[in-house]
Amino acid sequence: MDFKKLLEKDYIILDGAMGTMLQKMGLKLGGIPELLSITDPEKIISIHKSYIEAGSDIVYANTFGANRYKLKDCKYSVSEVIQASVKCAKKACEGTDTLTALDIGPIGQLLEPTGTLGFEDAYDIFKEQILTGSDADIIVLETMTDLYEVKAGLLAAKENSDKPVIVTMTFEENKRTFTGCCIPSMALTLEGLGADAIGVNCSLGPKELIPIIDELSKWTRLPIAVKPNAGLPDPVTNEYNVGADEFAEYIAEMNKYGINLVGGCCGTDPEYIKAAVKALSGLEPVKREKNIPSAICSPTSAVVIDQPRIIGERINPTGKRLFKEALKNKNIEYILGQAVEQIQGGAEILDINVGLPDIDEKEMMVKVIKAVQGIAETPLQIDSTDPAVLEAALRVYNGKPLVNSVNGEDESLEKILPLIKKYGAAVLGLTLDKNGIPKKADERFEIAKKIMNRALEYGISKENIFIDCLTLTASAEQEAVMETLDALERVKKELGLKTVLGVSNISFGLPNRGLINSTFLTMALTKGLDLPIINPNMEAMTGAVRAYRLLACHDKNSSDFIEHYGSDVHETTEKKDADYSLEYAIEKGLKEKAREITTALLEKHDAMEIINTMIIPALDKAGSDFETGRIFLPQLILSAGVAQEAFDVLKKSIASSNESSVEKGKIVLATVKGDVHDIGKNIVRVLLENYGYNVIDLGKDVAYEEVLRAVNENDCHLVGLSALMTTTLGSMADTIKLLRENNCDCKIMVGGAVLTPEYAEKIGADYYSKDAKQSVDIAKEVLG
Amino acid sequence: MANIESINIDEALRYMGYKDNIDIENIRDIICSCEKKLLSSAEPRYCYKIADIERSDKITVKNTDLMLAGKSISSHLAECQKVILLAATLSDKADKLISLMNVTDVTSALITDAMASAMTEQLCDIAEEEIRREHGIKHTTFRFSPGYGDFPIDIQRDFIKILSADKKIGLTANDSNILIPRKSVTAVIGISDKPLPQKKRGCAVCSMNKSCQYKKRGAHCGF
């Protein structure tokens, strides 16, 4: 018997709880139940046997928590525990058709960005389990709440074995997991990554899981697995409140959603499995709809392409001096700012392009994707011409992305389509080939068709193939404009594919570009454009999409449109501000005002003068008010934030006028490895930037080597390290040690709640900074 | 999910070093908007277990392999026969909100971070109240968390395991024993069958008084 054959059965019966059975036998809470496979194998075998007798086609070996992290202080190794456990299950299955599953539960630590466990570390933990459990027939990943962790596990399974993989995640009644993963995102991502069956287990009883199964059934073609708890537990006695017969009734009710694999989780025992078998025996399996919506997703948000959706184009260095500078300085904060601004403008997908000749594009791409996903729910379009960059990005992306792009050339198709298939992404095909962009719509259509057919051959389904018929500039090739739109229309109608178009190019070299862009956008939308790539910060562009959605009856009751424009009365309650000074704006925390005033000031003064005679004195005043207790920390930071706005205006002016930089010197900042508290460090960053220092902020939980590398690469002479916990002071000491061992020519300042001046000295720091204000004083001393 | 309708803003301001004479007019709007955002993002949840304790040279929680080590916890539970093991979290949505604010507006991030700490305490208060009512518990000690005094912080992993807090409320600890999501608390509350004298808190009665890292700097572990 194998899994494929099993799937021919009406229903595959899984087993019930292992932990519940062991607790009934007197296992102490907190013990490691997996060890019983070594110390008391007969007990484990007898539990498996009782499920086999109840009708289980697959039993889960006693390996749920047998990972490197959970077995850290245990005298048995991962492989000893897993091999013993699989052996118990196999022994119980002897002489039957029942299959053994290697059962893998959550690692027990949260992954980055919320936690500190790296994606590749998680992958290694799973890989070890998968390799040592190779005697099992099937791999199961279950009780998962973090889509990123599941991705690491599923990739590890697919890359290190050829066994079928069943993945079940754990949802709360709000149809989300604890980390916010929604059902569509789970289904889109896991089906893409090649899971063989997906579903739900634990946390809720069968009744509460019905709406969850209902939704899941609309989002996947894969067999659906369900393992409910025996109802909900009493917090004190831990007794579950749904009996075996009631359990089975609900299972029968779920049948209408097309479930295929059925078992039980916490609180269930062989009686529940028997009852479920009985309840299903008279039923006909229900076939599900085979069409899945075209969509891409992050873990928490799926964007369905059932109406025009805006792709934000701004994360791209082409023609942007500040952006290029940010990439060279690895200034992730700047890029994140661009992401947030576009989302607030109305972007529903963000294009990510970080290609620049002098930088390591792969490394930067991975960094940016992780950072953007750490703060934004918006799904991403990964944009690179280098397959190695694309693969690295596809690996670490959490969810299902869109890849920009392939074209009609065989080489491009052969290199990139296998990656799309393997990582379950959607792909954007450009209608060009080695002869360039064809002039005529028909020729572009033919390339689109070729791309589609190739993608289908690779097993990429139609809803995941998008086509860009390519915009040419109207000033150069006026006749080509309609050709693009005609090609788009044909691709949409005749091939049934979703269409994408970069819009802004159309107006290049013409006056009033905004007018041309928004008109072209509207024309394209009526031809069937699904994904305009635009600058969402341009009101006319996002406005055109929103208006189109209203007029084309996508935006029902105009609710989205009214939400955005309904209260369109700009408030002018502020008093007349002719005599506001920049200093006043900084003191009172008036960001918008500071921006306006600075812009106005630039007409009469140069940037350095504004900095030295207005901003710095205002900041110094805020600093001394803070020291004397007239204001407290959030107010100091507020003033700093306003000064930052003024600086941004000045920086842009300097960037466009080629004046020399206002920056005084580089400072590397990091919250040390293992620590995730970064508020203090961020405050220090803001103040330092205010005083004109170029801060290279490495973020939180930063590896020692990364600090060293940043110091060397940037030829940096001041490093600030932060740690909040006593448990991470050791990391701070080790970071300093590494810097010293490598003879870095830099001073080190340290700060954080548990630090003392004595300890700072002991671990070899040059300065102890008691607060953010003091870090500025130190910077002045060291860098001037 | 626990229901928290407003945040104890006074407490949050105190965490940020607020003193009575400071005029906060220019941050009032930011405070209001941070409160709204945090209340709509955070998913406050808690789980707990009530268990007997046994004393030998150390305190162990009955029917588990959890040991409560150290002089501080020992004296804290001196008059107690049972304990409530409590774990509470605002979920990773609070962390994510603060991370986002770190990009858009550090002032809001700072204020929201302090508010989230205050909200976590409120969640624990609510949890304690509900548990006491549900089980008719009269006499309890204040909450004592790993890291207070000499109560070792490396108990976090076992604590989470005993409560299945990862499964029930999504709470984990990293290799440095930092709770993740960040705005989370684990605590031991002693239960006694007779009235307990009002226990003193603070450095003066702490067994770590002389060697404490926090105290040296004028800070405080929470005890």
Report the residue from B18, B103, B158 with minimal CB separation from A340. B103
Residues A547 and A487 in one domain: yes
Residue A653 has pLDDT above 90, yes or no: no
CA A40 to chain centre: 42
d(CA A729, CA A671): 11
Instruction: Label residue A238 by pLDDT band (50, 70, 90).
Output: confident
d(CA A345, CA A336): 14
Q: Whose CA is closest to A666, among A590, A718, A724, A734?
A: A718
| Residue A776 lies inside a defined structural domain of this protein | yes
Q: Which residues contact A411 (CB under 8 A, 6 or more apart)?
A: none
Q: Are the CB atoms for A542 and A513 separated by under 8 Å?
A: no
Please report residues of A whose CB lies closer than 8 A to that of B82.
none
Token pair of A631 as six digits: 């204001």
pLDDT of residue A132: 97
Q: Whose CA is closest to A667, among A691, A696, A708, A710?
A: A696
Instruction: Label residue A659 by pLDDT band (50, 70, 90).
Output: low
Per-chain mean pLDDT for chain A: 93
Please report residues of B whose CB lies closer than 8 A to that of A115.
172, 174, 180
| Residue A168 lies inside a defined structural domain of this protein | yes
H-helix or E-strand containing A420?
Answer: helix A410-423
Secondary structure in 3-state letters for chain B: CCCCCCCCHHHHHHHCCCCCCCCCHHHHHHHHHHHHHHHHHCCCEEEEEEEEEEECCCEEECCECCEECCHHHHHHCCCCCEEEEEEEECCHHHHHHHHHHHHHCHHHHHHHHHHHHHHHHHHHHHHHHHHHHHHCCCEECCCECCCCCCCCHHHHHHHHHHHCHHHHHCCEECCCCCEECCCEEEEEEEEECCCCCCCCCCHHHCCCCCCCHHHHCCCCCCC
Structural domain range at position A213: 3-281
Q: Whose CA is closest to B4, among B109, B129, B142, B96?
A: B129
Residue to mutate among B99, B171, B183, with most A CBs inside 10 A, is B99
d(CA A540, CA A528): 19
Task: Find the closest chain B residue to A69 by CA distance.
Answer: B175
Residues A115 and A73 in one domain: yes
Report the residue from A170, A683, A728 with minimal CB separation from B176. A728
| Residue A236 lies inside a defined structural domain of this protein | yes
Report the residue from B17, B109, B177 with minimal CB separation from A679. B109
Q: Whose CA is closest to A324, among A356, A353, A351, A363?
A: A356
Secondary structure in 3-state letters for A557-583: HHHHHHHHHCCCCCCCCCCCCCCCCHH
Please report residues of B whose CB lies closer than 8 A to that of A203.
167
Q: Are the CB atoms for A127 and A62 separated by under 8 Å?
A: no
CA A112 to chain centre: 10
| Residue A572 lies inside a defined structural domain of this protein | no
Residues A631 and A682 in one domain: no
Chosen domain end from A656, A678, A710:
A656
Residues A265 and A340 in one domain: no
Dihedral angle, C-alpha A247, A250, A252, A258, nearest 10 °? -120
| B195 Cα to chain A: minimum distance (Å) | 24
Q: What is the CATH number of the domain that holds A670?
A: 3.40.50.280
Instruction: Label residue B218 by pLDDT band (50, 70, 90).
Output: low
H-helix or E-strand containing A225?
Answer: strand A224-227
Report the residue from B66, B110, B175 with minimal CB separation from A637. B110
Residues A41 and A104 in one domain: yes
* A:B CB pairs within 8 Å: 172
Q: Are the CB atoms for A542 and A312 separated by under 8 Å?
A: no
Residues A634 and A698 in one domain: no
**Structure confidence by residue, pLDDT tens digits, B137-171:** 999 999 999 998 899 999 999 999 999 999 999 99
**Structure confidence by residue, pLDDT tens digits, B200-209:** 777 777 777 7
| Residue A301 lies inside a defined structural domain of this protein | no
pLDDT of residue A387: 96
Residues A362 and A225 in one domain: no
Cβ A727–B24 below 8 Å, yes or no?
no
Chosen domain end from A656, A681, A697:
A656
Interface of B with A in 10-49 (CB under 8 A): 13, 16-19, 21-22, 24, 26-27, 30, 47-49
d(CA A510, CA A507): 6
Q: Whose CA is closest to B171, among A106, A395, A375, A237?
A: A106
Q: What is the CATH number of the domain that holds A651?
A: 1.10.1240.10
Chosen domain end from A509, A530, A563:
A563
**Mean of the pLDDT values across residues B36-48?**
96
Residue to mutate among B107, B168, B191, with most A CBs inside 10 A, is B107
Question: C-alpha angle with apex B52: B48 to B53, nearest 5 degrees?
Answer: 110
Please report residues of A whose CB lies closer than 8 A to that of B63.
28-29
d(CA B24, CA B18): 9
Report the residue from A110, A117, A682 with minimal CB separation from B102. A682
Cβ B217–A674 below 8 Å, yes or no?
no
Task: Find the closest chain A residue to B148 by CA distance.
Answer: A726
d(CA A492, CA A784): 61
Beta-carbon count within 10 A of A602 CB? 18
Interface of B with A in 160-219 (CB under 8 A): 161-162, 166-167, 169-170, 172-178, 180-182, 213-214, 216-217, 219
**Structure confidence by residue, pLDDT tens digits, A359-415:** 999 999 999 999 999 999 999 999 999 999 999 999 999 999 999 999 999 999 999
Question: Which DSSP state fits A299?
Answer: S
Task: Find the closest chain A residue to B162 by CA distance.
Answer: A30
Cβ A758–B216 below 8 Å, yes or no?
yes
Residue B215 has pLDDT above 90, yes or no: no
Q: The dihedral of CA A166, A172, A176, A179: what is its sign?
A: negative
Report the residue from A179, A633, A756 with minimal CB separation from B216. A756
Instruction: Label residue B56 by pLDDT band (50, 70, 90).
Output: confident
Q: Are the CB atoms for B13 and A621 separated by under 8 Å?
A: no
d(CA A217, CA A223): 9
**Structure confidence by residue, pLDDT tens digits, A89-142:** 999 999 999 999 999 999 999 999 889 999 999 999 999 999 999 999 999 999
Q: Whose CA is closest to B186, among B162, B204, B209?
A: B162
| A536 Cα to chain B: minimum distance (Å) | 17
Residues A425 and A452 in one domain: yes
Q: Are the CB atoms for A763 and A730 separated by under 8 Å?
A: no
Residues A557 and A589 in one domain: no
Q: What is the CATH number of the domain that holds A337?
A: 3.20.20.20
pLDDT of residue A28: 75
Please report residues of A whose CB lies closer than 8 A to that of B17.
632-633
Beta-carbon count within 10 A of A341 CB? 16
B158–A contact, CB cutoff 8 A = yes
Residues A152 and A256 in one domain: yes
Q: Whose CA is closest to A225, among A318, A123, A144?
A: A144
Phi, psi of A346 (to 5 degrees): 130, 5
Report the residue from A375, A635, A675 with minimal CB separation from B176. A675
Percentage of the residues of chain A whose pLDDT score is greater than 90: 76
Please report residues of A whose CB lies closer than 8 A to that of B49.
235-236
Report the residue from B19, B158, B172 with minimal CB separation from A629. B19
CA A371 to chain centre: 8
| B63 Cα to chain A: minimum distance (Å) | 6
Residues A587 and A536 in one domain: no
Q: What is the count of structural domains for chain A?
A: 4
Cβ A114–B95 below 8 Å, yes or no?
yes
Q: Which residues contact A703 (CB under 8 A, 6 or more apart)?
A: A673
Q: Whose CA is closest to A65, among A32, A96, A89, A40?
A: A32
B99–A contact, CB cutoff 8 A = yes
Report the residue from A28, A683, A759 with minimal CB separation from B64. A28
| Residue A531 lies inside a defined structural domain of this protein | yes
Residues A632 and A687 in one domain: no
d(CA A279, CA A259): 13
d(CA B13, CA B115): 8
pLDDT of residue A572: 44
Please report residues of A whose CB lies closer than 8 A to that of B170.
145, 178-179
**Structure confidence by residue, pLDDT tens digits, A320-369:** 988 998 998 888 889 999 999 999 999 999 999 999 988 999 999 999 99
Residue to mutate among B89, B103, B155, B215, with most A CBs inside 10 A, is B103
H-helix or E-strand containing A236?
Answer: none
pLDDT of residue A337: 92
Residue A662 has pLDDT above 70, yes or no: no
Q: Above 0.85 for ipTM, yes or no?
A: yes
d(CA A506, CA A488): 15
d(CA B38, CA B108): 11
Domains and CATH numbers, chain B: 9-211 (3.40.109.40)
Q: Are the CB atoms for A212 and A182 separated by under 8 Å?
A: no
**A99-116 burial by CB neighbour count: b if 16+ within 10 A, else e?**
bbbbbbbbbbbbbbbbbb
Cβ B27–A686 below 8 Å, yes or no?
no
Report the residue from A635, A675, A728 with minimal CB separation from B27. A635
**Structure confidence by residue, pLDDT tens digits, A571-626:** 444 444 456 799 999 998 888 899 999 999 999 988 888 888 999 899 889 988 98
Cβ B16–A676 below 8 Å, yes or no?
no
Token pair of A672 as six digits: 């040390």
Residue A569 has pLDDT above 60, yes or no: no
H-helix or E-strand containing A71?
Answer: none
| Residue A575 lies inside a defined structural domain of this protein | no
| Residue A77 lies inside a defined structural domain of this protein | yes
Alpha-carbon separation of residue A251 from A261, A278, A599, A710 (angstroms): 11, 11, 66, 57
d(CA A231, CA A496): 45
**Backbone Cα Rg of chain A:** 30
Task: Find the closest chain B residue to A29 by CA distance.
Answer: B64
